[in-house]
Structure 1
Amino acid sequence: MFETRLTAERIRKHEASGAWTGRTLFESVAGHATRTPAARAVYDASGSYSYEDIVRLSTRVAHGLRELGVRSQDVVAVQLPNWREFVPTFLGIERIGAVVNPLATILRERELRQMLQVGRARVLVVPANFRGWPHAERAVQLLRDLPDLKHIVVVGGTRMSGTVWWDELLELGSRWERDKISPRGGTEICELAFTSGTTGQPKGVLHSHNSAVCAVRSTVRRQGFDSHDVFHVASPVGHNAGYFYGVRLALEAGGRLVMQDFWDADLMVELVRSHRVTYSLGSPTHLFDMLGSQSATREALSSLRVYICSGADLPRHLARSALDVIPQALCRVFGMTEIGHATSTDNESPRDKLIETDGNPQPEMSIRIVAEDDRVLPAGIEGHVHVRGAFMFAGYLQGPELTDEYFTGDWFHTGDLGRVDADGYLCLTGRIKDVIIRGAEKLPVREIEEVLGEHPRIVEVALIPVTDSRLGERAVACVRLRDGGALGLGDVTSFLADRRVTTQFWPERVVVMDSFPKTPAGKIQKPLLRQLVEGDDNRGE
Structure 2
Amino acid sequence: MNIAHLLQRSALVHGERPALLAGTCLLHDYRTLAARVAALAAHLRAHCGVQPGECVAIFSANGPQYLEALHAIHWCGAISVPVNYKLHARELAYVLADSGARVVCVSAALHDAALAAGADAAAVQVLGASAWEQAAQGAPLALQERAPDDVASLFYTSGTTGRPKGVMQTHRNLLAMTMAYFTDVDDVQPGDAMVYAAPMSHGAGLYNYAHMLRGARHVVPASGGFDPAELVQLAADVGRLSLFAAPTMVHRLVEHVRRTGANVDGFKTIVYGGGPMYVDDLRRAIDTMGQKFVQIYGQGESPMTITALAREHLADTAHPRWAERIASVGVAHACVQVRVVDDEDRPVPTGELGEVVVRGDTVMAGYWRNPEASAQTLRGGWLHTGDVGSLDAHGFLTLRDRSKDVIISGGSNIYPREVEEVLLLHPRVSEVAVVGQHDADWGEVVVAFLVAGEGGAVDDAALHAKLDAELDAELDAELDAELDALCLDHIARFKRPKAYRWVPALPKNSYGKVLKTELRAWLQAEGAGSGA
Normalising by structure 1, report the TM-score.
0.72
SS in 2 for 1:414: strand
Amino acid at match of 1:191: S
1:24 lines up with 2:2 in the alignment: yes
Q: Is the 8 A contact 2:66 2:127 kept in 1?
A: no
Amino acid at match of 1:391: T
Deviation of 1:197 (Å): 3.5
- Count how many residue pairs are aligned between Structure 1 and Structure 2: 422
| Match of residue 49, structure 1, among 24, 28, 35 | 28
Deviation of 1:185 (Å): 4.2
- Report the Cα distance in structure 1 between the residues aligned to 2:260 and 2:147, rounded to whole angstroms: 44
Deviation of 1:55 (Å): 0.8
| Match of residue 401, structure 1, among 372, 379, 402 | 372
Amino acid at match of 2:73: I
1:363 lines up with 2:334 in the alignment: yes
1:252 lines up with 2:252 in the alignment: no
- Report the Cα distance in structure 1 between the residues aligned to 2:215 and 2:447, rounded to whole angstroms: 40
Deviation of 1:269 (Å): 1.5
Deviation of 1:299 (Å): 6.5
CA deviation profile, 1:136-187 (whole Å, cap 9, x unmatched): 1232344xx467x8600012457xxxxxx3224335xx1x42x534433412
Q: Is the 8 A contact 1:195 1:205 kept in 2?
A: yes
Amino acid at match of 1:419: S
Deviation of 1:378 (Å): 1.8
Normalising by structure 2, report the TM-score.
0.73
* Structure 1 residues 139 and 278: alpha-carbon distance in aligned structure 2, compared to 1, 3 A threshold: closer
Q: Which residues of structure 2 form unaligned runs of 5+?
A: 407-415, 418-434, 436-443, 454-465, 468-514
- Report the Cα distance in structure 2 between the residues aligned to 1:297 and 1:361, rounded to whole angstroms: 37
Structure 2 match to 1:347: 311
Amino acid at match of 1:205: V
Q: Specify which structure has the bigger relative contact order, considering alpha-carbon pairs within 8 angstroms and separated by 6 or more residues.
A: 1
Deviation of 1:35 (Å): 2.4
Q: Which residues of structure 1 form unaligned runs of 5+?
A: 1-22, 130-134, 159-164, 438-444, 446-461, 478-503, 518-528, 530-541
* Structure 1 residues 25 and 334: alpha-carbon distance in aligned structure 2, compared to 1, 3 A threshold: same
* Structure 1 residues 220 and 470: alpha-carbon distance in aligned structure 2, compared to 1, 3 A threshold: farther
Q: Is the 8 A contact 1:217 1:252 kept in 2?
A: no
1:217 lines up with 2:179 in the alignment: yes
Structure 2 match to 1:512: 526
Deviation of 1:330 (Å): 1.4
- Report the Cα distance in structure 2 between the residues aligned to 1:354 and 1:371, rounded to whole angstroms: 23
- Report the Cα distance in structure 2 between the residues aligned to 1:432 and 1:273, rounded to whole angstroms: 42
Amino acid at match of 2:311: N
Give the percent of matched residue pairs that are identical in Structure 1 and Structure 2: 24
Q: Is the 8 A contact 1:232 1:272 kept in 2?
A: no
* Structure 1 residues 466 and 60: alpha-carbon distance in aligned structure 2, compared to 1, 3 A threshold: farther
Amino acid at match of 2:401: G
SS in 1 for 2:373: helix
- Report the Cα distance in structure 2 between the residues aligned to 1:516 and 1:364, rounded to whole angstroms: 52
Deviation of 1:125 (Å): 0.7
Amino acid at match of 1:85: Q
Q: Is the 8 A contact 2:358 2:383 kept in 1?
A: yes
Amino acid at match of 1:335: G
| Match of residue 269, structure 1, among 220, 224, 232 | 232
Deviation of 1:506 (Å): 9.7
**Map of 1:128-143 to 2, 5 A cutoff?**
128-129=108-109, 135-142=110-117
1:167 lines up with 2:133 in the alignment: yes
* Structure 1 residues 516 and 192: alpha-carbon distance in aligned structure 2, compared to 1, 3 A threshold: farther
Structure 2 match to 1:524: none
CA deviation profile, 1:81-114 (whole Å, cap 9, x unmatched): 2211111211111112100011122122111111
- Report the Cα distance in structure 1 between the residues aligned to 2:150 and 2:530, rounded to whole angstroms: 48
**Map of 1:259-338 to 2, 5 A cutoff?**
259-260=220-221, 261-294=224-257, 300-338=263-301
Deviation of 1:390 (Å): 1.0
Structure 2 match to 1:59: 38
Structure 2 match to 1:419: 390
- Report the Cα distance in structure 2 between the residues aligned to 1:344 and 1:470, rounded to whole angstroms: 31
